[in-house]
């Protein structure tokens, strides 16, 4: 995945390849502990709970990573309270490393640690697909970080014990007409992809049977970004930024440098923008659509949380400065010039809101 796609790649959920359609065997063995043939070979947590959540994800899918970052902790709390039956369907269409992680998740299920492995794999997702990060050795080390230290886990990973099971899960997704990741169903019905996938408030409202919140057009409360950085230059042209001053803020900071007069950005909006990304640590330009000479178009729900939160309330024709802490950006992920735990500085010109 190219670095520029770190910002906008999650704009489109990954699509399952038609080549993965295959005839499903009547019975696949072995299957991991907790896997249920009647639930599409998914790993079932809390099988007796009345409410059911089905989650199809690929461990390398960046959009899945975004969903987990938004709602993963809430789902874990519901699992712990035993109020929600969760069926995990680990898909593997993004390549060999997806296959290896999915197979290992079955090994973790045997040790009754599937949710922990699931969370750890997404928390440590590589910055790009098939980067070389995941192999048997590194996956066994990931398992050890959550207490999977027994020789049986390592043996299971090394032997690829659950290769046929992973294929069965993939085939069941095709049969269920699941063609993108993540796909999340609550009691058999897909939740609203445009809102609940990226909004914790909307997601919890669905699970708890409450009225979904109305999308807000209000600029969020945040620190004043102009206290840290000075930006010069006209709307629509590449900006010039002063070196960042002081300690980077641990919270989101923003400033409208040009107030637009057009349509207002909502959490559900699709945007066309120009942007420039500068690293706080060394004031170097990491990515710039101005330099490429091409605007970026994407749904706001498909990008990093700092944008999902920080661009709401801006308007067409506006320029907004964002300072995004690692927790709302890429966290510990690193790729090329982008360092781990980097504070991100964006200048965003909003051309179109739809």
For residue range 65-102, what is the model confidence (pLDDT) as tens digits?
A: 888 888 899 999 999 999 999 999 999 999 999 999 99
Q: What is the pTM of this model?
A: 0.64
pLDDT at 328: 84
pLDDT at 299: 87
Q: How many residues does the structure list for the chain?
A: 354
pLDDT at 29: 86
Task: Supply the CATH classification number for the domain 4-208.
Answer: 3.40.30.10
Q: How many CB atoms lie within 10 A of CB 191?
A: 20
Angstrom distance (rounded) from CA 333 to CA 10: 15
Angstrom distance (rounded) from CA 226 to CA 223: 9
pLDDT at 10: 34
Degrees to nearest 5, angle at CA 353 with 248 and 191: 85
CB neighbour list of residue 313: distance below 8 Å, 6 or more residues apart: 216, 217, 218, 219, 220, 264, 265
Taking CA atoms, 322 is separated from 57, 58, 225, 313, in Å, by 30, 30, 7, 13
- The domains of the chain are located at 4-208, 223-353
Fold of 223-353: Chitinase A; domain 3 (3.10.50)
What's the pLDDT tens digit per position in 223-240?
Answer: 999 999 999 999 999 999
Q: Which residues of the chain have pLDDT under 70?
A: 1-26, 212-215
Structure tokens at 249: 């803020």
């Amino acid at each position: 995945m190219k670095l520029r796609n770190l910002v906008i790649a999650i704009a489109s959920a990954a699509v399952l390849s038609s080549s993965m359609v295959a005839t499903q065997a009547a019975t696949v063995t072995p299957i991991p502990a907790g896997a249920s043939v009647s639930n599409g070979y998914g790993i079932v947590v809390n099988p007796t709970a009345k409410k059911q959540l089905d989650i199809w994800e690929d461990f390398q899918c960046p959009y899945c990573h975004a969903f987990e970052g938004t709602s993963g902790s809430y789902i874990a709390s519901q699992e712990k309270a035993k109020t929600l039956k969760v069926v995990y369907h680990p898909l593997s269409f993004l390549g060999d490393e997806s296959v290896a992680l999915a197979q290992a998740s079955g090994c973790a299920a045997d040790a009754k640690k599937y949710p922990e492995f699931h969370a750890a794999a997404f928390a440590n997702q590589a910055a790009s697909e098939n980067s070389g990060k995941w192999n048997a050795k590194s996956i066994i080390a990931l398992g050890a970080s959550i207490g999977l230290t027994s020789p049986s886990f390592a043996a299971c990973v090394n032997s690829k014990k659950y290769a046929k099971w992973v294929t069965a899960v993939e085939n069941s997704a095709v049969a269920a007409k699941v063609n993108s990741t993540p796909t999340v169903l609550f009691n058999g019905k897909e939740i609203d992809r445009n809102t609940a996938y990226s909004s914790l408030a909307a997601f919890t409202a669905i699970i708890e049977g409450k009225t979904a919140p109305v999308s807000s057009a209000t600029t969020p409360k945040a620190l004043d970004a102009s206290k840290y950085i000075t930006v010069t230059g006209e709307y629509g042209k590449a900006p010039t930024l002063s070196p960042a001053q002081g300690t980077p803020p641990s919270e989101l900071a923003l400033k409208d440098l040009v107030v637009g007069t057009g349509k207002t950005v909502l959490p559900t909006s699709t945007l066309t923008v120009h942007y420039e990304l500068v690293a706080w640590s060394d004031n170097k330009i990491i990515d710039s659509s101005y330099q490429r000479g091409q605007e970026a178009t994407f749904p706001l729900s498909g990008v990093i949380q700092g944008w999902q939160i920080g661009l709401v309330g801006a308007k067409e024709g506006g320029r907004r400065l964002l300072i995004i802490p690692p927790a709302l950006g890429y966290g510990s992920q690193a790729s090329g010039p982008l360092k781990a735990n980097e504070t991100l500085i964006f200048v965003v010109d909003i051309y179109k809101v739809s």
